[in-house]
Structure 1
Amino acid sequence: MRRGGRDGFILVSVLVSLIVLGGLAAAVAYLTRTAVVGAASAREALVIDALMQSGLELAGYELFSLRRPAELVNGQRIRLNDGVVTLFAASEAGKIDLNGAPPELLAALWTAIGAPGMRPETFAARVIDYRDLDDEPSDNGGAEIPQYSAAGPNRLPANAPFERIDELQNVLDVTPAQVRQLRPYLTVHNPDGKIAVLEASVATLRLIPGGARLADQIPALKAAAQTERQNEGQSDAVERLLGDAAKFVTVESEPKAFTVRVEAERGGSRRAVDFVLTASRAPDALYFVTDRIERRPGR
């Protein structure tokens, strides 16, 4: 009886060992499959990154070396091996500069998005107070240190130029959601303050005081600007066409910054990133990337 019991014990031990070994084999197989899937996913991400970088460098070369207009870069589709890169470009000179825009233009921008809770004149005053060097609140509801301190701890105006558009959410009573609405119209790379009318979007032109008809005048403005350059500024056709908007816009511009969207796709993978490129003064670089924002492809 004892022998049979021992045999039974050995049989049970063998079965347990087989179960353990079977579990280990299954675990190894699972880990192997996971490693293979992970390696494939990592490789796909590297390929997409390479496509993005190639698209960015091509756009930078065209804009800053060949000096092609943004409108000629916009919409390009380039096939690279088994991937496709699509480029979109817009000059920052056609946008409203947070540091250079006058109060009337800032107020018009706030009116355009229909944001509640603050008068347009108050928004303009607070943007200017945030960026200026003094501690005196502007008229129309401006805000300096006392107003920020009353709103909560550790809140102060920068009293310095905006470095990024996202800083706008630090202005008193401006929310991140409102910044997202304002972002397409804004830049910090057009310090002269005047909008390059031939580089601006139709939406931007329509919000400029006195600029509602400018979008329909673009062909005539291009022709008049060309004539004015040929006549060395002797024509007044441009001024007539600009009308009341002349205070806020210019037909002359030498873009020094662009927003470039690069969309890369390969198989089922897609990625889109907005890059802000600014001209470099260094002899060994064409441009610098000063900002980047991940986007949803196709938007």
Structure 2
Amino acid sequence: MKAMEWYFPKSREELAELLKEEGALIHAGGTAIKEERIKSAKRVIDISSLPLNYVKKDGNIWHIGATATLNRVIDSLESDHFLVKALKCTATTPLRNRITMGGSVYLSPLWSNLMGPLLALEAEIEVLGRRQGTCKYEELLSDRGKFQGCAVTEVRFPDVKLIGWFDRFARTSTDYSALTVTIALSVEGESIRDAKVVVTGSKKVYDRLSGVEKALQGSRLEDVDVEGISRNVNVEFTDKPAGSGAYLAEVSKVLLCRGLNALGSAR
């Protein structure tokens, strides 16, 4: 049996060359690597030596390197940022000290809770490998096949003044999320200038509630008809251990109403 080969690239150029080979397993925090994948891998690329462990703001853009851990992101952003609130609900403190942003974004499991906030922030990712350059995070989610043989090297999103809210539904505080709801509002004066509302965990993996977003735009936050808006929401879910699809659809509406009411009360 051929021994597993490990590679430790020191530059992005070296990583790009290594990714040209088929079947490479990328290792950073290592928390998402399953036993069967370890057994089948012939080549492992450990990216921990690359200069990608950073969270920094350049102008009005946040840049997060692929090997930055979730706890480093939590410690770097404002404590009331809705991405921070989402990440604090992810795993345990020891695990958040290992789980990296690059792997979390590339795999985007629902339990990571970052999908909704990153979509609401209209985040971009930088990738290396068969596909190189910068693209919208939403593009990765919509067509993962394009990104086979790639590694996420950076996540970036604008540092804009938003009123944000995040919540999730799970059976217990330590259970995986059955669904999450993220609301991000840009308020100008007394009116909502722009709105992003995202539900994850649905049949389509995630839903942008464009109808809710349009209803919110131009409204005074204090005057939003929360119940009226929620009645027109129709997100479909499959049955899960946390409840039936119909039950989870109702829960998503409850969380949406709760978020809009909380944001209105905070003004």
> Which is higher, the Rg of structure 1 or of structure 2?
1
Q: Which structure ranks higher in relative contact order (CA pairs < 8 Å, sequence separation ≥ 6)?
A: 1
Between Structure 1 and Structure 2, which shows a larger proportion of helix residues?
A: 1
Between Structure 1 and Structure 2, which shows a larger proportion of strand residues?
A: 2
TM-score (norm 1): 0.24
TM-score (norm 2): 0.26
